[in-house]
Structure 1
Amino acid sequence: MAPKYLKRASAAESPASSPGLDVASIVKNVIEDIRQNGDAAVRKYSENFDKWSPESFKLSKEQIDATIAQVPKQTIEDIRQVQANVRRFAKAQRESIRDFELETQPGVFLGQKNVPVAVVGAYIPGGRYPLLASAHMTILTAKVAGVPHVIGATPPIAGKIPKATVAAMHMAGADEIFILGGVQAVAAMAFGTKTIHKVDFLAGPGNAFVAEGKRQLFGEIGIDLFAGPTEILIITDETADAFTVATDILSQAEHGPDSPAIILTTSEEVGRKAMAYIDELLKELPTAPLAGTSWRAFGEVIVVDSIDEAWKVADQIASEHVQVFTKNPRDALEKMSTYGALFLGENTCVSYGDKCIGTNHVLPTRKAAKYTGGLWVGKFLRTCTYQEVKSTTASGELGRLCGRAARAENFEGHARSGDLRAQKYLSDEHSWITNAGGPSVTKKAKM
């Protein structure tokens, strides 16, 4: 049977921004202005968008120290603990990626080295919420990967320096910290200005304008992901606690007014109870204006006949976050293949991944899980190969093979590179070499 919807999303798709705004055009104009006019344009947009125009956007060591000194001790301790969790997992990821060298045939050596990106720009959002955790996920992960220079940029909040965010950025290992937000921040890092170092790679989430900026800049620099609004899918059977389902749905819906929040269940009773609890919780949730808007416009409750059908529907949804509240939650590891991150069992919530457990919270949205995973140490590494042929006999044999393979594709120049080795090392006759004054054959060809 087809899935039954107890609630459907009322909006066709996630809006990129406020109605009437052409985000792509606005972003393109800002980017081109900064490309042409550098720091002057950066300052202009910071003044216009954030009412922020300090003498220097970059914080000095003294400013960083003074800012961190104002952060509550408990917050500093919590940052330290969370970063220890993130660092532990990131180090395990790095250790899983190895350099190697292989002798594929006598005298032929192939290898790979994993080389860190030289300069990374990390954007830490701060418009609606001070997202300390994004500093851990971007800056710290880049440093664990071995990136030698990481620039962090975060916007002011209500015209002030976000103290706890600066502490998180510094403790994560940022080499430079800029209080600068929006498209002006990512464009400045992408191009480089007189005061801001050019980066090779941009990482970190942001609003619709930042996301569009990264999209337009991709190619000139690398980026982590094309990010959209936060998504949550909770898969349940009849064993799930509907109140927990409702609570966790709203935990992600509060990210913004356009966050898809879906309950996929084999139990209509659980689905209906969760809907009722969501209505009650929204009456007193401080972030209800955002969470409620998101739930009403993008919330769905889907009932399926079996858990096997639930796995299939979940893979089609390809959600950023998937919580599994079933009798055997680890079945999802075998049955599912398309998601940003799995959270198995009611002891495990997406909020842990967002804030403290140690896995990275920068994850694919808008079905991008069909072709990519989330941000991890490997995103900051370039896997580079190398080759060395030490044996002249092997080089000659490869030359013969190269000549035949290249001529099958009509690449005569490629073929001649192979011919030359075959003549030099195996005494093959190639008239184009001798006619051009190249080395002649001095001994009988080896067959």
Structure 2
Amino acid sequence: MVQYLKKEMNVSKSSKSELEQTVASIIDQVRQKGDAALLQFAQKFDGVTLQQTKVTEDEIQTAGKQLPQTLIDDIQFSIERIRAFAVAQKERLTEFEQEMIPGVHLGQRVIPIEAVGSYVPGGRYPLLSSAQMSIIPAKVAGVSQIRVCTPPTKEGHVHPAVLYAAHLSGADEIFAVGGAQAIAALAYGTESIQPVNKIAGPGNRFVTEAKKQVQGDVGIDLLAGPSEVLVVADEEAKPQFVATDLLAQAEHDVDARAILVTTSADVAHAVMNEIEHQLKTLPTAEVARASWERRGQVIVTETLEEAIQVTNDLAPEHLHVQIKDAYEALAQFTNYGSLFLGENASVVYADKVCGTNHILPTQEAAKYTGGVWVGTFLKVVTYQWIEQAGIERLAPHSVRQSKREGLIGHLRSANIRLTGNLDQ
């Protein structure tokens, strides 16, 4: 039996068609007017007048000089961790060639995408870690051109920490462009921004809608919505830990989702009380409280098996398992963006520095996809070469099947290599 101690409120959403039309108009103007549209939108949406969108080398070096050495050291540490994990992932993507039957040689190649666009959100907080998460795996994959777009500040510059983090992560070009117009520029190009083959990185609903509309003309990583966390807790979970983990994601956005699924009603009540207590001293309480009140959920189940079933159905972005012997339950959880086992594996470690990627599927997309990884920026392609012995095995089957399908051109292409004649 599943009991909801706290349900998600019915969240009123803006008209989908209005969002689609607004974004479509932005994309169309960028395609028609190029850089002029980008400068116009910077004034309209960001409240800043720019002379150009591309960040110069002097601006990058100036940004670095503005940062304390401790911050630079922290950026370097997270870059090292993210790169190390991406390298480990790539090493397990192997190329091979094998003679499958006599005379038939099949192979697999792993080829990096040539040009990638990385979108780094601006918004409420300077998310320098988002720059690292999309740039570093692309760099490790071997992408030759990485173009970054991120919104300008009110002063007309990219936030120095975001700028320098993007530079150290391996960005080839950085542009002070945000919103749907940045996605349009990366997809179709302008006078100053060359089009890319794939766009990665999180963003607000306008960015997400723009990625949706350009998909097909250009590849995208995934369509991600507001942040989500689900904590699975048993009677041994620490309410203070659980509450901090829920609020850590709630402070991202008023539309973020924080969910507790627990086998203990006592823990559920204790966590709700602890959340109220922590909100009194949390500097980001205005956002976190709105998120918790609107979208927070507390679900109590009778058994752990029932809790796991509920969790797999919700398919959260971040899944934090705070139960006894959490690692033993690893195989039972199947739908999530990233999994955190045990009370010590805080989501914040992965969000910032531990090495796994934080660009993850939301809104139950974890039922069919994982998050961004080094493979996001690689193409796994096949090839074949065939000897006469292979032709003698393959051609008769191909001829018969082509004849049944009425594809005589196919039949001839197979048969001429077997008999030297067009027809059988």
Matched, 1:65 2:64: no
Residue 12 of structure 1: how far off its partner (Å): 4.7
Residue 432 of structure 1: how far off its partner (Å): 3.8
**Pairing partner for 1:121 from 101, 114, 117:** 117
Structure 1: how far apart are the matches of 2:239 and 2:139?
Answer: 41
Comparing 212-221 and 407-416, the one that deviates more: 407-416
Structure 1, unaligned runs of 5 or more = 425-429, 434-447
Structure 2: how far apart are the matches of 1:395 and 1:251?
Answer: 61
> Scaled by the length of structure 1, what TM-score is found?
0.92
Structure 2 partner of 1:222: 219
Matched, 1:369 2:366: yes
Structure 1: how far apart are the matches of 2:388 and 2:16?
Answer: 68
Matched, 1:157 2:153: yes
Partner secondary structure for residue 21 of structure 2: helix
Matched, 1:105 2:101: yes
Q: Is the 8 A contact 2:226 2:256 kept in 1?
A: yes
Structure 1 partner of 2:233: 236
Structure 2 partner of 1:11: 10
Structure 2 partner of 1:258: 255
From the CA coordinates, give the structure whose radius of gyration is larger.
1
Number of residue pairs aligned between Structure 1 and Structure 2:
423
Q: Is the 8 A contact 2:317 2:336 kept in 1?
A: yes
Residue 54 of structure 1: how far off its partner (Å): 2.2
Partner secondary structure for residue 345 of structure 2: coil
The letter of the residue matching 2:8 is A
Structure 2 partner of 1:412: 408
Q: Deviations over 1:257-276 (max 9, x none)?
A: 01111000000000000001
Structure 2: how far apart are the matches of 1:339 and 1:409?
Answer: 43
**Pairing partner for 1:248 from 245, 248, 266:** 245
> Scaled by the length of structure 2, what TM-score is found?
0.97
Q: Is the 8 A contact 2:226 2:362 kept in 1?
A: yes
Structure 1: how far apart are the matches of 2:405 and 2:316?
Answer: 43
Structure 1 pair 95/176, CA: closer, same or farther in 2 (3 Å)? Answer: same
**Pairing partner for 2:45 from 31, 49, 57:** 49
Residue 410 of structure 1: how far off its partner (Å): 2.2
CA-based RMSD = 1.5
Structure 1 pair 422/299, CA: closer, same or farther in 2 (3 Å)? Answer: same
Residue 323 of structure 1: how far off its partner (Å): 0.3
**Pairing partner for 1:403 from 394, 399, 402:** 399
Q: Deviations over 1:138-185 (max 9, x none)?
A: 011100011011011111233343000011000000001111111111
Structure 2: how far apart are the matches of 1:169 and 1:371?
Answer: 30
Structure 2: how far apart are the matches of 1:148 and 1:268?
Answer: 53
Structure 2: how far apart are the matches of 1:111 and 1:331?
Answer: 37
Structure 1: how far apart are the matches of 2:20 and 2:328?
Answer: 42
Structure 2: how far apart are the matches of 1:368 and 1:202?
Answer: 18
Structure 2 partner of 1:338: 335
Structure 1: how far apart are the matches of 2:162 and 2:274?
Answer: 34
Matched, 1:314 2:296: no
Structure 2: how far apart are the matches of 1:147 and 1:161?
Answer: 23
Quick one: percent identity of the two aligned structures?
Answer: 44
Structure 1: how far apart are the matches of 2:191 and 2:422?
Answer: 57
The letter of the residue matching 1:127 is G
